[in-house]
Every structure is written in C-alpha cells, then in structure tokens.
C-alpha cells in the first residue's frame, strides 16, 4: 500500500529530477484522503522551504558519495530531516517510517545506512536546530537574483520568501463587509487577507460566487484600469482566470484566451461559480495574433508566461528547479508576444503587461526594450493613489511608473508575491 510518506517521496523526487512544478506532480496523487493530502502538502512544502539547510547538514553526516543503489535515499533523508527538525515528529516514528520506506525504495543495505544516519541526526537535533541559518536559496537561485539586486535586498527577499503565504481573496463588491464576515484583514488595495487555514470551499460566500482566490500582487494589474464598463478587453493568457474575473466584475466585454485546455476548464469553472460570462478561446496567443483581423481592443492584458520566480512563498520548489537559462527562455518568449501585440491594441488604447517574475529581464528590462522598438507606445505611469486612494502603496511604484513588488513589502501583514506591471498607452 502506498502511504503518505511514500507519496511525499515521489513528489520530491519527481520535482527535483524532472524540474516540474509540485502542483503538476501532485495531480497524479489525487486518491489520498483529505487528512493525508494535507500532511503530504505540509511535509513536502516544509522540506523545500528548508532543503538548502538540510542538504548542508547532511554533508556533515554523509561523507562519502552515494553509490548508484543508494541514490534515492537522499530524498528519504530530506523528508526525514524535515520531520526531525521542523515537524517535531517523535524520533522512533521517523526512524520506523523512513527505514521501512528505504527498504521499499532501495534495498536492505541502504536501509541500514539510512537507519544509522538518521539516528545520528536525531541525537544532534538540538544543536542542528540552534545552528539553522535560515538558508533557503540555492546557489543557482542566488545567481538569478544577483543579476538585479544587491546583497542586502537578496537577504530580505530570502527571509520573506520562506514564509508561508496567507490566503488572499478578491471580492466582487463591498470588500469591507466581506472582511468582517470572513474575519479578514482588509489590505489597502481592497484585497482581503485571511489567516484561516480551513477548507476554502467551505468559507462563507465561496459557493455563492462572491469572491475568488487571488494574491494581493496578482490583483494589482487590473486595479490600474478604470472606466472599463462596456470596453472590449482581451485577456491574453487568462487561465485560471483571476484577472478575467476582475475585468468581468468591472463590466468589461472580456475575451479570455489561453493555450491550455485544462487550465481553461478551471477558468470556466471559476466563471460559472462567479456568474461571469467572458468569451473563451483556446488557442496559442502567437497564432491568434498572427491571424488577427478584427477590430482592435480597447485594452489588451498580457499576463505573460514567465519563470514564476515571484511566487516562491507558494512554490518553494522553484528555488531548486529554476535557472538563469529559464529566465532567458521566458524573456525570449515574452519578446515574441510583445512584438506581435501592437495591431491588437486600438489607437489610444492600453497595453497592460505583467509577470509574476522577480527577474527584471522579464519585467523592467523587457518593457524598456519593447518601448525602444515600438515607438507607438508610451508609459502611462501608475500611481499609488489609483491603487488605494493615497500614498500607502508608494514603495511599490518605480521611478518610471511601473509596479514592482517584492516579497518583503508589507511584511507586517505577511508580505506578497513579487510582481511586475507596466501600463502602456498606444498613440492616438
């Protein structure tokens, strides 16, 4: 029988070896009951949040290179160390579970070795906890950040990114009322932040379609648009539909396009629940733009595919699977999108570009290069006042008038994903 720890083992192994998002690996493990599912999620996410330190201490305990038969034992060590150091599982339970798992996944010689190493880790637990330096970023991830940020900022990003995110939601209307009903904090831009760890689908207003899950940062781009009632808006990479819902709630005539049928299914479910009815198109945006011969749109929202390196709080595995070359690959794709988008935006219309990447190559630098090539577009600077009515969110706005959020902003309230937004106007 497959138990929860074996599933956690498979998830860590597949994520690291195949450089996959945990969410994509998880999809294969749908047959777990709710309690086991919650345990697996917590175990795997906590392991990734502390893996750099766990790897460092394992180097003290395992001096020799693992031979071929023992290769998979490293994933067992990662999970077991996580339980010993961060989940306070009793030593006997850790030893019993992971030695048995080692017997199943490797062989009896390796399981003996696992037993010996884990006993040593248990003995030194108190010291190891004391010496924890909070390391989270891998060398490769540091390399991505060093392209754009100084040492002190990177340290602040690291500290904030390891925190578990709260649940943020966007409401259709009357945010203060829903903040009361859900016992949530009302953030300056009207996003609600919940400490609640219960089941989302059981919270008040979910089934009735009064709100949807959306990180504070992800909700900012659409807050830069006003007077959308009846305006033709193209949401170019729309699924699962957080921004589509915002656009619909503002009365826009929305076309939601995405290349992924699976993700569009999720978007459609969300729209049905919320009672919105955008036009949905499943197509590669690059083909759509090549073939485009209709009336241009008042607004094109390009929430471009990106490295997602701004979402570490939710996806700590990215620290181990993203490299500088992934950032470059996505930046090239974004450039292709941007080079084709102009004919879709009507004269005097708006192009709203955003990414959930922390790398400036996918944000500030991308847009500055675009503006140098496409003289018909100019920056339409964004202000804090538009986002929240006053200067409270001033630190999120760059000199040029872009939004650049970083995980340590609004730290007292629990931080935010890193995000970039540029609002550009096409010449009339």
Ligand X SMILES: C[S@@+](CC[C@H](N)C(=O)[O-])C[C@H]1O[C@@H](n2cnc3c(N)ncnc32)[C@H](O)[C@@H]1O
For ligand X, the closer of residues 61 and 288 by Cβ is: 288
Q: Which long-range contacts (CB under 8 A, 24 or more apart) does 106-114 make?
A: 106/69, 106/70, 106/72, 106/73, 106/76, 107/69, 109/69, 110/69, 110/70, 110/73, 113/70, 113/73, 114/73, 114/76, 114/77, 114/80
CA 159 to chain CA centroid, Å, is 16
The smaller minimum CB distance to ligand X, of residues 106 and 244, is found at 244
What's the rounded Cα separation, in Å, for the pair 333 and 339? 10
Q: How far is the CB of 363 from ligand X (least distance, A)?
A: 13
How does DSSP classify residue 326?
H
Instruction: With both helix axes pointing from N to C terminus, report the angle between 73-85 and 91-105 in degrees, rounded to the nearest 10.
Output: 170
Query: Which is it for the CA torsion 243, 245, 249, 255, positive or negative?
Result: positive
Question: Minimum distance from CB of 258 to ligand X (Å)?
Answer: 5
Out of 8, 175, 285, 416, the only residue in the binding site for ligand X (CB under 6 A) is 285
Decide: is 284 part of the binding site for ligand X (CB under 6 A): yes
15 touches 321 (CB < 8 A): yes
Of the pair 156, 263, the CB lying nearest ligand X is at 263
46 to 75, contacts with ligand X by CB under 6 A? none
Closest distance of CB 170 from ligand X, Å: 10
Task: Give me the least distance between CB of 241 and ligand X, in Å please.
Answer: 5
302: left (phi over 0), alpha (psi -120 to 50) or beta: beta
C-beta of 105 vs 232, nearer to ligand X = 232
Near ligand X in 221-240, by CB under 6 A: 237-240
- Would you count residue 219 as binding ligand X (CB under 6 A)? no
Q: Which residue is nearest to ligand X (CB)?
A: 237
Distance CA 349, CA 371 (A): 15
Minimum Å gap between C-beta 287 and ligand X is 8
Residue 243 or 360 having the CB closest to ligand X: 243
- Contact between residue 79 and residue 8 where contact means Cβ atoms under 8 Å apart: yes
Q: Contact between 363 and ligand X (CB under 6 A)?
A: no
Rounded Cα distance between 264 and 260, Å, is: 6
Cβ distance to ligand X smaller for residue 243 or 361: 243
Rounded to whole angstroms, the Cα distance separating 286 from 237 reads 11
User: Residue 321 interacts with ligand X (CB under 6 A)?
Assistant: no
Nearer to ligand X, 131 or 284 (CB): 284
- Asked if residue 165 has a cis previous peptide bond (ω within 30° of 0), the answer is no
Structure tokens at 92: 């006997």
**Can you tell me which of 243, 313, 314, 360 binds ligand X, judged by CB under 6 A?**
243
What is the enclosing helix (H) or strand (E) of 167? strand 167-171
Total number of residues that touch ligand X (CB under 6 A):
18
Nearer to ligand X, 57 or 274 (CB): 274
Site for ligand X in 252-271 (CB under 6 A): 258-260, 263
Q: Are 159 and 134 in contact (CB under 8 A)?
A: yes
Two tokens, residue 41: 């999620």
303 binding ligand X? (CB under 6 A): yes
- The two tokens of residue 161 are 């990114």
**Residues in touch with ligand X (CB under 6 A):** 218, 237-243, 258-260, 263, 284-286, 303, 305, 356
């Amino acid at each position: 029988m497959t138990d929860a720890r074996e599933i956690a083992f498979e998830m860590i192994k597949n994520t690291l070896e195949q450089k996959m998002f945990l969410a994509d690996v998880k999809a294969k493990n749908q047959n777990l009951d709710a309690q086991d599912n919650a345990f697996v999620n917590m175990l795997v996410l906590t392991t990734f949040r502390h893996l750099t330190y766990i790897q460092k201490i394992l180097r003290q305990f395992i001096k020799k290179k693992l031979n071929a038969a023992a290769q998979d034992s490293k994933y067992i060590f990662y999970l077991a160390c996580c339980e010993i150091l961060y989940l306070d599982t009793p030593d006997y339970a850790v030893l019993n579970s992971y030695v048995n798992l080692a017997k199943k996944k490797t062989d009896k010689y390796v399981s003996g070795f696992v037993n010996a190493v884990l006993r040593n880790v248990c003995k030194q637990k108190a010291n190891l906890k004391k010496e924890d330096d909070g390391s989270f970023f891998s060398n490769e991830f540091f390399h991505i950040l060093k392209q754009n940020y100084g040492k002190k900022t990177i340290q602040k990003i690291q500290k904030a990114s390891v925190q578990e995110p709260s649940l943020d939601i966007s409401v259709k209307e009357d945010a203060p009322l829903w903040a009361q009903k859900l016992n949530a904090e009302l953030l300056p831009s009207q996003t609600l932040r919940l400490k609640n760890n219960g089941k989302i689908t059981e919270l008040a207003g979910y089934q009735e379609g009064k709100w949807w899950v959306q990180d504070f940062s992800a909700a900012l781009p659409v807050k830069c648009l006003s007077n959308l009632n009846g305006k033709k808006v193209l949401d170019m990479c729309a699924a699962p539909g957080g921004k589509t819902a915002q656009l619909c709630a503002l009365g826009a005539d929305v076309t939601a396009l995405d290349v992924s049928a699976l993700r569009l299914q999720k978007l459609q479910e969300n729209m049905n629940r919320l009672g919105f009815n955008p036009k949905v198109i499943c197509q590669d945006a690059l083909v759509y733009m090549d073939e485009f011969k209709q009336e241009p749109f008042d607004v094109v929202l390009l929430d471009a595919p990106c490295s997602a390196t701004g979402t570490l709080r939710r996806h700590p595995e990215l620290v181990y699977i993203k490299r500088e070359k992934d950032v470059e690959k996505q930046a090239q794709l974004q450039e292709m999108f941007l080079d084709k988008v102009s004919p879709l935006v009507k004269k005097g219309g708006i192009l709203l570009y955003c990414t959930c990447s922390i790398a400036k190559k996918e944000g500030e630098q991308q847009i500055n290069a675009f503006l140098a090539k496409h003289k018909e577009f100019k920056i339409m600077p964004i202000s804090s006042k538009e986002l929240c009515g006053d200067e409270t969110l001033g630190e999120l706005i760059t000199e040029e008038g872009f939004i650049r959020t970083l995980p340590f902003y609004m730290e007292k309230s629990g931080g935010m994903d890193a995000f970039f937004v540029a609002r550009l106007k096409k010449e009339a």
